[in-house]
Amino acid sequence: MVVSGLSMYAGAAVAVGLFDVLPPSVVAWLRIAAAGLLLLVLRRPKIAEFFGRAGAVAAVFGVVTLGMNMAFYEAISELPLGTAVAIEFLGPIAVAAWGSRSVRDWLALVLAGGGVLVLSGAQWSASAYGVLFALLAAALWALYIVVGARVAKERSKNSLAVSFCWAGVLAIPLAVLAWPQHGVGMATWQLLALAAGLGLLSAVIPYSLDQVILRITSPDYFAVLLALLPLTAALLGAVALGQVLSVAEMVGIGAVVAAVALRKQ
Tally the residues of the chain.
265
Q: In this structure, what DSSP letter does residue 108 have?
A: H
**Residue 146 phi/psi, 5° resolution?**
-65, -50
Residue 92 sits in which domain range? 2-100+124-217
Say how far apart CA 26 and CA 2 lie, in whole Å. Answer: 27
Mind giving me the DSSP string for 178-191?
Answer: HS-TT--SS-HHHH
Write the Ramachandran bin of 52: left for phi over 0, alpha for psi from -120 to 50, otherwise beta.
left
Q: How many domains does the chain have?
A: 1
Amino acid at 141: W
3-state secondary structure of 71: helix
pLDDT tens string 28-77: 999 999 999 999 999 888 888 899 888 899 999 999 999 999 998 888 88
Q: Using the predicted structure, report yes or no on whether residue 238 has a pLDDT greater than 70.
A: no
pLDDT of residue 64: 96
| Residue 236 pLDDT class (50, 70, 90 cuts) | low
48 inside domain: yes
243 inside domain: no
222 inside domain: no
pLDDT of residue 1: 63
Cβ pair 103, 147 in contact under 8 A: no
Cβ pair 123, 83 in contact under 8 A: yes
Q: Using the predicted structure, report yes or no on whether residue 104 has a pLDDT greater than 80.
A: no
Q: Between these two residues, 212 and 227, which has the higher pLDDT value? A: 212
Q: Between these two residues, 117 and 29, which has the higher pLDDT value? A: 29
pLDDT of residue 234: 67
Q: Using the predicted structure, report yes or no on whether residue 131 has a pLDDT greater than 90.
A: no
Say how far apart CA 154 and CA 166 lie, in whole Å. Answer: 17
Global pTM reads 0.82
Crossing angle (nearest 10°) for helices 52-76 and 159-170: 60
164 inside domain: yes
